[in-house]
Amino acid sequence: MTSESHTSSLSRREFLGFAAGAGLVLSSLSAMSGLSGTTAFAAEGPVFALPPLPYAENALEPHISARTISFHYGKHTKAYYDNANELLKAVNPAPTSLEAVFLAAGKDPAALALFNNAAQACNHTFYWRGLTPGGPKAPTGKLAELITASFGDFEAMKKELAATSVSQFASGWGWLVQDGGTLKVVKTPNAANPLQNGQKPLLTVDVWEHAYYLDYQNRRADYVKAVLDNLVNWDVAAANLG
């Protein structure tokens, strides 16, 4: 199973340098939808609280087990929030969104630990919000129209997103994004996020091994198919499109 480290630190000088950079990013994010501007990432003071799951831990069974979610959400996702909060203790004033944090930290090699934890906190919360135990099995309205215009039809989009997600080497993410007036399927490694490339995320599939290994072992393709066929919350994806 892919290993990952949840312990790291920055010097006070690096914190202060990050804080100055983050201040420049905050205002540019205020108009973004999807990941930014959602209550899921609201903070009180310097702490970014781990958002609750929008469903019970066993709600996604049989496709994703309660055991997987107890580890994936209860330990992995929580650790990213805990580590980001710890690394942000020396930043004053505290940044107002985790998106601002990882976009600024991603431009500073000295802030790699902060980028990894803040971006993974955002990526995971976006992933959890995009799943549902029920709901429509296909998009409607504007999102459906854009999918048809961009990919030909819904099944073609799902096929491309599945193939892209499965083909991500090692840890990472498959994404459906808006890029200008069209939709695209992209993949990112590790903690990277399409916002770094000016793309608006609509939907993501987590293909880190901790997302599926307890249930599917090395059968990543089966996990991705189960998610795309049964668990995507297309209402949330449409709301992310705006």
* Rounded CA separation 239/242 (Å): 5
Are 57 and 161 in a shared domain?
Answer: no
Are 125 and 145 in a shared domain?
Answer: no
Q: Is there a domain that residue 134 lies in?
A: no
Are 43 and 124 in a shared domain?
Answer: yes
Q: How many angstroms separate the most distant Cα atoms in the chain? A: 52
Span 43-57, mean pLDDT? 80
Q: Which of 68, 102, 129 is the last residue of a domain?
A: 129
Are 107 and 216 in a shared domain?
Answer: no
**Known binding-site residue numbers for Mn(2+):** 72, 124, 206, 210
Number of domains the chain contains: 2
pTM confidence score: 0.82
Are 23 and 63 in a shared domain?
Answer: yes
Within 13 Å and on the Cβ side, how many CA atoms surround 198?
4
Q: Is there a domain that residue 44 lies in?
A: yes
Helices (H) and strands (E) in the chain — how many of each?
10, 5
The residues near 170 (Cβ < 8 Å, ≥ 6 apart) are 2, 189
**Known binding-site residue numbers:** 72, 124, 206, 210
The residues near 22 (Cβ < 8 Å, ≥ 6 apart) are 91, 95, 100, 101, 104, 105
**pLDDT digits over 71-128, tens only?**
999 999 999 999 999 999 877 777 889 999 999 999 999 999 999 999 999 999 999 9
Q: Is there a domain that residue 7 lies in?
A: no
Q: Is there a domain that residue 2 lies in?
A: no
Q: Is there a domain that residue 176 lies in?
A: yes
